[in-house]
Chain A
Amino acid sequence: MTFIPNILFFIVFSIGLSLFVVNIKKVISNIRLGKDIDRNDRKKERWINMTLLALGQSKMVHRPVSGILHIIVYVGFILINIELLEIIVDGLLGTHRVFAPYLGGFYNFLIGTFEILAFLVFISVIIFWMRRNIIKLKRFMNPEMKGWPKNDADFILYFEIVLMFLFLSMNATDGLLQDLNTPHYLKAGAYPISIYLQPLYDGFSQSGLIVLERTFWWLHIIGILIFANYLYYSKHLHILLAFPNTYYANLDSKGKFKNNSNVTKEVRLMMDPNIDPFASAPSESPPEKFGVSDVIDMNWVQLLNAYTCTECGRCTSECPANQTGKKLSPRKIMMDTRDRLVEVGENYRKNKQKFIPDGKELLNDYISTEELWACTSCNACVEACPIGIDPLSIIMDMRQYLVMEKSSAPGDLNNMMSNIENNGAPWPFNNQDRLLWANEDQIN
């Protein structure tokens, strides 16, 4: 009989972990739907980038209030998870605070630190909630944040509040049981915060306290397993994906837009005077599609970007188009890409790794041309993202599809382009007149 909790724990933990692995595999296979792009060069710079941005949160503090609160939650999350290790070992072996005898005084220091962190996380999360629900910061109120994105953000905060409360209550009842010299509850740990929760529970009998302590312990670990599996359905995947996303981020100048190498081949062929004009065109493969109209046209880094986005909206709040009331929101570009990717990924899985057309596309069904044509390519969104997401590359690739596959640029831009084509300038001036300014008035 005494092994039942251990077996139960093993089952619960295994189910939680397997579901988590299944979900992560789905994320990875969806990202792999993207086209190849080489981001395995300059490894040292990539490690530095990841260390600074993801591990070091260096860009988060560009906005000090949310930045510092976020660092508290982040550090709290990572350190308190050390405790998770002990919880898992205890659960599997039926021990209680298994590390305590080995760590001695350091164990007390650890538990005390975790408690203080848990309290700070609790406070930070409440402030986060207030920023979204009472202060109603503008960047959390954009149209794309209605419905699920709003609820998702709040659910995450509620999860964290409940988990911290369970963690501290678990310690509070444990502390009371230790004071009562309860068998199995060895004297270990320091409880600088949960001691203030003890008055809530000190009316209970010893057996009542044991039930409470066990309940909090179980709910805490089950809560963590549920939260881990919630990630897949949530914007919260950034806690994992921020690391690969910053590692694989673009390291070149932000102004350098990639040159389409298929176009280069065609242009070189056209301009080569030695080419035989009567030679038949190589026809073994259909011509490559230019630009992006759906997620499978994107490269895998763009898809990774979409999954990594946590919808903080720093990009959108820095976007000059969005600030002046245009429809474009770089955050929405990322959210739409992710939502469509999830849909396309499901389609592949349902149809044995083949995509059955569903009559929808990212372009028009999710992202409108009005949004795409509002972009000034100023890179403010790219600069603003704390974890290296690049919405601009998606906007530019979609413009490329519109112009090169659909010939559907705004009329003014078509005029500009035909001017460049005909006379080498975006305006209708004669190229021979390029030096007229030199004769217009005396320079020296």
Chain B
Amino acid sequence: MQIPTLASMAAEGKKPDVLFWVGCSGSFDERAKKITKAFIKILNHSAISYAVLGPEESCTGDPAKRSGNEFLFQMQAIANIEVMNAYEVTKIVTTCPHCFNTLKNEYPELGGDYQVQHHTQFLKKLLDDGKITLEGGSFKGKRITFHDPCYLGRANKVYEAPRDLIKKLDAELVEMKNCKSKGLCCGAGGAQMFKEPEKGNKDINIERTEQAIDSKPDIIATGCPFCNTMMTDGVKNKEKEDSLPVKDIAELIAEAEDL
């Protein structure tokens, strides 16, 4: 499958409407690559003019900044901004809330001013504009709970776009004890993804998975590759991996549309 890159399009003198920022997780992590592919299917299906950066993309610097390495963060940010500004990027969509937050909030001061959307906002817009139509299909009547990624929810107040999409699947949206602005972290943020947790009496993802299970869902939905990893591990820990899938909103939509 040929994925358009900004470089290949520029070579043909073309420019896409939107840059799909894939992110490190979406590029390299086995589970997250499936989310990337699901989103690509929707983009193709809706005939969106998009491109990726491919090898010209580099980590946004989020985990470096949250670890305290401001120098490495800004090196990454300024290098990425140089690349994107050279291609005259104006719109970005990404499937990772960490990339979303960093690109949207921390890049402008460093010279990178773009319209940045999380893929759930982007998909909601496609739906509103009639570019995709959703009929629940296989998800009709299923109980789906949404785990709010911290960097999408509390950090940027995006609570409704993913929920609207779930409702459009004719599914029953069930909320966990802690949701939206009170949503409990999956445990991966602040660069915790890349280290062992500090000493405690429980892992955060187990606590969150228990909250999810308490809402008796058929599916746990989320909108972040790291949350996905943490919740998937939590479900495995509870030995429910055969009965309780953890899926990204993009995957749910691609599946419902039979893409």
A340-396 CB contacts (< 8 Å) to partner B = 370, 373-380, 382-383, 396
Once A432-B55, A444-B1, A444-B41 are accepted as A-B contacts, the answer to whether A401 and B68 lie under 8 Å apart by CB is yes
Q: Number of contacting residues on B, CB 8 A?
A: 76
CB-CB under 8 A from B55, the residues of chain A are 431-435
Contact, CB under 8 Å: B154 / A404: no
Once A256-B105, A426-B59 are accepted as A-B contacts, the answer to whether A267 and B74 lie under 8 Å apart by CB is yes
- Between A252, A375, A402, A425, the greatest number of chain B beta carbons within 10 A of the residue's beta carbon is seen for A425
CA distance A435 to B28 in the complex (A): 9
CA distance A291 to B2 in the complex (A): 45
A10-63 CB contacts (< 8 Å) to partner B = none
Once A255-B151, A321-B198, A410-B195 are accepted as A-B contacts, the answer to whether A424 and B76 lie under 8 Å apart by CB is yes
Once A255-B151, A376-B150, A431-B58 are accepted as A-B contacts, the answer to whether A417 and B69 lie under 8 Å apart by CB is yes
CA distance A266 to B194 in the complex (A): 27
CA distance A158 to B41 in the complex (A): 66
Contact, CB under 8 Å: B71 / A404: yes
The reply to whether the CB of A318 lies closer than 8 angstroms to some CB of chain B is yes
- Between B29, B55, B59, B69, the greatest number of chain A beta carbons within 10 A of the residue's beta carbon is seen for B69
Select one of A254, A398, A417 contacting B154, CB under 8 A.
Answer: A254
The reply to whether the CB of B10 lies closer than 8 angstroms to some CB of chain A is no
CA distance A85 to B140 in the complex (A): 66
The reply to whether the CB of A220 lies closer than 8 angstroms to some CB of chain B is no
Contact, CB under 8 Å: A321 / B155: no
* Shortest CB distance A358–B (Å): 26
CA distance A324 to B192 in the complex (A): 14
Q: Which residue of B lies closest to A373 (CB)?
A: B198
Select one of A267, A376, A400, A404 contacting B188, CB under 8 A.
Answer: A376
Contact, CB under 8 Å: A266 / B71: yes
CB-CB under 8 A from A266, the residues of chain B are 71
Contact, CB under 8 Å: A400 / B68: yes
A170-199 CB contacts (< 8 Å) to partner B = none
CB-CB under 8 A from A379, the residues of chain B are 150, 154-155
Select one of A255, A257, A416 contacting B191, CB under 8 A.
Answer: A416
Contact, CB under 8 Å: A264 / B195: no
Contact, CB under 8 Å: A259 / B110: yes
Contact, CB under 8 Å: B106 / A326: no
Select one of B54, B63, B151, B207 contacting A416, CB under 8 A.
Answer: B63
Contact, CB under 8 Å: B204 / A321: yes
The reply to whether the CB of B202 lies closer than 8 angstroms to some CB of chain A is yes
* Shortest CB distance B140–A (Å): 26
Contact, CB under 8 Å: A376 / B192: yes
Q: Which residue of B lies closest to A268 (CB)?
A: B78
Q: Which residue of A lies closest to B191 (CB)?
A: A413
* Shortest CB distance A350–B (Å): 33
CB-CB under 8 A from B157, the residues of chain A are 253
The reply to whether the CB of A284 lies closer than 8 angstroms to some CB of chain B is no
Contact, CB under 8 Å: A320 / B200: no
Once A271-B79, A443-B44, A444-B41 are accepted as A-B contacts, the answer to whether A403 and B101 lie under 8 Å apart by CB is no
9-residue interface stretch from B84-92, B167-175, B179-187, B215-223: B179-187
Once A321-B198, A326-B197, A432-B55 are accepted as A-B contacts, the answer to whether A437 and B74 lie under 8 Å apart by CB is no
The reply to whether the CB of A240 lies closer than 8 angstroms to some CB of chain B is no
CB-CB under 8 A from B58, the residues of chain A are 424-425, 431
Contact, CB under 8 Å: A383 / B67: no
Once A290-B70, A377-B189, A383-B182 are accepted as A-B contacts, the answer to whether A425 and B28 lie under 8 Å apart by CB is yes
* Shortest CB distance A164–B (Å): 34
CA distance A424 to B70 in the complex (A): 15
CA distance A165 to B192 in the complex (A): 52
The reply to whether the CB of B196 lies closer than 8 angstroms to some CB of chain A is yes
The reply to whether the CB of A285 lies closer than 8 angstroms to some CB of chain B is no
The reply to whether the CB of A260 lies closer than 8 angstroms to some CB of chain B is yes
The reply to whether the CB of B22 lies closer than 8 angstroms to some CB of chain A is yes
- Between A291, A321, A378, A438, the greatest number of chain B beta carbons within 10 A of the residue's beta carbon is seen for A378
The reply to whether the CB of A421 lies closer than 8 angstroms to some CB of chain B is yes
B52-70 CB contacts (< 8 Å) to partner A = 52-55, 57-59, 61, 63-70
Contact, CB under 8 Å: A420 / B59: yes
CA distance A264 to B65 in the complex (A): 13
Contact, CB under 8 Å: B156 / A253: yes
Contact, CB under 8 Å: A403 / B68: yes
9-residue interface stretch from B32-40, B119-127, B237-245: B32-40
Contact, CB under 8 Å: B3 / A264: no
CB-CB under 8 A from B48, the residues of chain A are none
Contact, CB under 8 Å: A437 / B36: yes
The reply to whether the CB of B214 lies closer than 8 angstroms to some CB of chain A is no
Select one of B187, B189, B201 contacting A325, CB under 8 A.
Answer: B201
- Between B59, B67, B192, B197, the greatest number of chain A beta carbons within 10 A of the residue's beta carbon is seen for B67
CA distance A396 to B104 in the complex (A): 19
Q: Which residue of B lies closest to A411 (CB)?
A: B195
Q: Which residue of B lies closest to A432 (CB)?
A: B55
CB-CB under 8 A from B53, the residues of chain A are 434
Contact, CB under 8 Å: A326 / B198: yes
The reply to whether the CB of B9 lies closer than 8 angstroms to some CB of chain A is no
* Shortest CB distance A304–B (Å): 22
Q: Which residue of A lies closest to B193 (CB)?
A: A426
Contact, CB under 8 Å: A252 / B182: no
Interface positions of A (Cβ within 8 A of B): 252-257, 259-260, 263-264, 266-268, 270-271, 290-291, 318, 320-321, 323-328, 370, 373-380, 382-383, 396, 398-404, 409-410, 412-413, 415-417, 420-421, 424-427, 429, 431-444
Contact sample, A vs B, 9 pairs, CB 8 Å cutoff: A253-B104, A256-B101, A260-B70, A321-B198, A374-B200, A377-B66, A402-B68, A434-B55, A443-B37
Interface positions of B (Cβ within 8 A of A): 1-3, 5, 22, 24, 26-29, 33, 36-37, 40-41, 44, 52-55, 57-59, 61, 63-72, 74-76, 78-79, 101, 104-106, 109-110, 150-151, 154-157, 181-182, 184-185, 187-204, 206-208
**Which are the 5 A-B pairs with shortest beta-carbon distances?**
A255-B155, A377-B190, A325-B201, A399-B68, A424-B58
